[in-house]
Chains A and B, each alone.
Chain A
């Protein structure tokens, strides 16, 4: 029975997508309701599965299911979750219904108060159908225990996102969509070479991840294959200097798609580093640690500084994410229990916090029809609820203590600082330098908040209505999660820690530090 969980959780959105796509013309409202219902079913199933996780059978991977797919190539439809995959699947399952609600009118065509058309009407069915296909693929990519299957989802999930940005996005949407697709595709193709290389060199006639761990021993081979995987993940994450597609894509995507893009799709990159780069090629990972940590620190600082200079809210949030991805990568490669558990927790928290920030910004933009910070001012007086949610999401973005992002950022820094992996001196420097980003984060967030929410109310802002019931339902769960996990991250960490331990075992790093040390706030 337990092996059916993941296939069912993946099949439900696919079936939902087909149903939505086949709805008769004019069934827009029904399409939205069906999508919401399907995504809630997926969420419910995922939560039930998550609660069974600690007691489920299986060593590291639980709910495993493996079927032959292409025996000629040694490819299996192999799924299963460890703690890291589980929390990321849960993140996806939580975000999708929220995004469905938030995108309720995104495809309907947007008109601002003064009658200018911001976005023309598009096919509603297609949008929500794509969304469900994307959900199935997001779950699949985290659940795959077969490296080939992972690659298939990794590449295939670009297509629905490409159409969501390209068909439903802002003025520069086709440029942004193409840039997004080509960057990711290029990285993916390099990874394909590495995937094939791994298969050929390992000579095991299988792509199953557990059987390939520790097979590649030759250091030079490890380095080449590591590079193939890492570049793909670095583009996906994205890390400086291959980050430039993200601000364009996130700024042009509809707010809901931007949440999934930054909140989930980009996490595939950092997830891949943790799962595949480290465990399959441990020696190469150690050899490349220094340059990667340098890139991570540059991303942290660069993303934060550039974010300060942005005039467009969505671009600003995208740049803050680049800074945050730097933290995650730093945590992954600092090779300690605390830092990696912190990095995983960071992936989840960042999904909630940035998701909330994008959605709140999306509500502002939907009201004003402009993403420019300068077009706002004094929102607090006319729409206090919206302003309040925006403020909390912003504070989560700058990792205020008491909010969930603080825990993870602190764990990454303390984990890097106290890492006993080789080259720990550099980790200390990295931790100290990246700590300055906390100050920069305060600048970019608070300055944006000040210019949009405070000050004299701008003339067009006066007509703003506060959040309606649907929008409150969008924001409230996210804010609750941010605050809840800020005070009590233990449930997540309890799931994450064993997975990180087995990762570190496979990387041959012994780290006596235990996660509670960092999480005990």
Chain B
């Protein structure tokens, strides 16, 4: 008997970005505990921004040095492959700009424990106190986002899911204005999120029952030799899918999204709409492609239906919205549907899969940045009581503030997928991947994939209607006499909007460099 315990090997160099973010988050917690109140913000902001920038630099370094691992690291717990590194880069860029938004004044409650409308609250606001805990909380969430799509087994993925979600539940409830709405959002998100986590965990257990392991390599191996119609496997797959699709906000698990997006402080909404979505898509892809790849005859029809449903539900319900953040939430649901089209577009060849992967990665980057940009604009249109989120308040914005309205209109056109914006190429890439996948699969499946693309096109046309409606409001309607004021944007917000705008325009005209980047990242596909 060999009773010695072997010390695990940890590839610190490869995991450096992840470790840096978590380390900085812990330092942030220590700052909260030991630094005097007046110093905290001054310390937290640089810690947060520098750690994110540093992690991004480490990711870039790894890519540039060509040092992308070909086997899982940390005893098989994490797969830092090409797609992971791309997704990490995207998440880090998105979270950097989101932290710039978080850093702006007036989004977060002065004292979360004070009852809304009470004297305590007034007192806290007057004394200028603030919850600087948002920075370490955001860092933990970002760390979770990095862990979630890179996990190489279901348990690590669950840990990533929780580390990502728990801080977000809390952050959602910290809005400075309309606090009851914010707290309601937080509560809803927490309850439904906990529920979906339970689904995920239950699914993990089922899969373990089937395969005897939770690692994707093991699951895949078990399916290659074992029965594919085992009830444990099918149940496990369904439960996992529910948990993941919930995070993505795919129909019919989309109900939380509008409420949460509306209630949460707008910078946190931006972080969820961009970072969480990217992480969730990454994780979903890994589970379905790397873990359950052999089951594609079973899951492709399911995801087909969900993709179609999500696109249609998101687009149609968005039409009836009167709140700008709710509208963007439904728009995000519709975009989750477009991304799912890419997930369905698998192929029997590695090259075919790489095309679909490339499309999804490209889509994530351009959609994420346009979303953050749009929410950054939302933070600037204000009433005395906070942000002016009702659509009617946006009437005539184009007259009062043509540049801001023009920028917002451009983001909307990108969401609608009008050519010469980045969004167009995202949609184009995904649709091309889907048709190519159907073409390869042959007649009946080919027709189904074409059908999905047609559904996507119809949904795009419907979606265009509500994007255009906002443009009509801003440009073709007369401004109201007591219209909202446009806040003077801080340097951070200007930077966020400029970066998002530059990428949306630049990639809209010359998508090739980013496509190449996504191509290189996708070429190796997932490792197991």
A79 touches B (CB below 8 Å): no
The reply to whether B419 and A200 contact each other, CB–CB distance below 8 Å, is: no
Q: Which one of B457, B512, B519 lies within 8 Å of A189 (CB-CB)?
A: B457
Q: Which of B14-22, B128-136, B266-274, B472-480 binds A?
A: B472-480
Interface centre among B416, B424, B461, B465 (most CB of A within 10 A): B461
Q: In the complex, how many angstroms separate the beta carbon of B40 from the nearest chain A beta carbon?
A: 44
User: Complex: how many Å from CA A158 to CA B453?
Assistant: 23
Task: Please report which residues of chain B, range 456-511, place their CB below 8 angstroms from some CB of chain A when the two chains form the complex.
Answer: 457-458, 460-461, 464-465, 468-469, 472, 475-477, 510-511
B340 touches A (CB below 8 Å): no
User: Complex: how many Å from CA A73 to CA B435?
Assistant: 14
User: Complex: how many Å from CA A49 to CA B239?
Assistant: 66
The reply to whether A196 and B418 contact each other, CB–CB distance below 8 Å, is: no
Contacts of A181 in B (CB 8 A): 464, 468
The reply to whether A199 and B472 contact each other, CB–CB distance below 8 Å, is: no
The reply to whether A70 and B515 contact each other, CB–CB distance below 8 Å, is: yes
Task: For B475, give the chain A residue with the smallest CB separation.
Answer: A167
Q: Decide if the interface of chain A is mainly helix, strand, loop or mixed.
A: helix
The reply to whether A73 and B432 contact each other, CB–CB distance below 8 Å, is: yes
User: Complex: how many Å from CA A177 to CA B474?
Assistant: 14
Q: Which of A109-117, A149-157, A291-299 binds B?
A: A149-157
A326 touches B (CB below 8 Å): no
Q: In the complex, how many angstroms separate the beta carbon of B291 from the nearest chain A beta carbon?
A: 28
Contacts of A153 in B (CB 8 A): 419
User: Complex: how many Å from CA A189 to CA B425?
Assistant: 13
A174 touches B (CB below 8 Å): yes
The reply to whether B476 and A200 contact each other, CB–CB distance below 8 Å, is: no
User: Complex: how many Å from CA A397 to CA B300?
Assistant: 57
The reply to whether A156 and B419 contact each other, CB–CB distance below 8 Å, is: yes
B321 touches A (CB below 8 Å): no
Contacts of A190 in B (CB 8 A): 457
Contacts of B436 in A (CB 8 A): 200
The reply to whether B468 and A196 contact each other, CB–CB distance below 8 Å, is: no
A200-B428 contact in complex given A177-B476, A193-B453, C-beta closer than 8 Å = no
Q: In the complex, how many angstroms separate the beta carbon of A277 from the nearest chain B beta carbon?
A: 19
The reply to whether A185 and B516 contact each other, CB–CB distance below 8 Å, is: no
User: Complex: how many Å from CA A201 to CA B468?
Assistant: 33
Task: For A192, give the chain B residue with the smallest CB separation.
Answer: B457
Task: Please report which residues of chain A, range 54-76, place their CB below 8 angstroms from some CB of chain B when the two chains form the complex.
Answer: 69-73
B382 touches A (CB below 8 Å): no
User: Complex: how many Å from CA A314 to CA B335?
Assistant: 40
Q: Which one of A71, A156, A197 lies within 8 Å of B418 (CB-CB)?
A: A156
The reply to whether B431 and A192 contact each other, CB–CB distance below 8 Å, is: yes
Q: How many residues of A contact B (CB 8 A)?
A: 34
Task: For A155, give the chain B residue with the smallest CB separation.
Answer: B419
Interface string of A163-194 (1 = CB under 8 A from B): 10011000001100110011001100110110
The reply to whether A200 and B435 contact each other, CB–CB distance below 8 Å, is: yes
Q: In the complex, how many angstroms separate the beta carbon of A132 from the nearest chain B beta carbon?
A: 16
The reply to whether A186 and B420 contact each other, CB–CB distance below 8 Å, is: no
Interface string of A191-232 (1 = CB under 8 A from B): 011001101110000000000000000000000000000000
The reply to whether B476 and A167 contact each other, CB–CB distance below 8 Å, is: yes
The reply to whether A196 and B476 contact each other, CB–CB distance below 8 Å, is: no
Q: In the complex, how many angstroms separate the beta carbon of A199 from the nearest chain B beta carbon?
A: 7
The reply to whether A152 and B431 contact each other, CB–CB distance below 8 Å, is: no
Task: Please report which residues of chain B, range 425-444, place their CB below 8 angstroms from some CB of chain A when the two chains form the complex.
Answer: 425, 428-429, 431-432, 435-436, 439
Q: In the complex, how many angstroms separate the beta carbon of A107 from the nearest chain B beta carbon?
A: 14
Interface string of B327-367 (1 = CB under 8 A from A): 00000000000000000000000000000001000000000
Q: Which residues on B are within 8 Å of A, measured CB to CB?
A: 358, 402, 413, 416, 418-420, 424-425, 428-429, 431-432, 435-436, 439, 450, 453-454, 457-458, 460-461, 464-465, 468-469, 472, 475-477, 510-512, 515-516, 519
What would 26 A/B residue contacts be, using CB atoms closer than 8 Å? Answer: A70-B511, A72-B511, A72-B515, A73-B432, A151-B419, A152-B424, A156-B418, A158-B418, A159-B418, A166-B472, A166-B475, A166-B476, A167-B475, A178-B465, A178-B469, A181-B464, A182-B464, A182-B468, A185-B461, A190-B457, A192-B428, A192-B431, A192-B457, A197-B435, A197-B450, A199-B432
Further pairs besides A189-B458, A193-B454, A196-B431: 9, Cβ < 8 Å: A70-B512, A72-B358, A72-B519, A153-B419, A174-B477, A182-B468, A197-B450, A200-B435, A201-B439
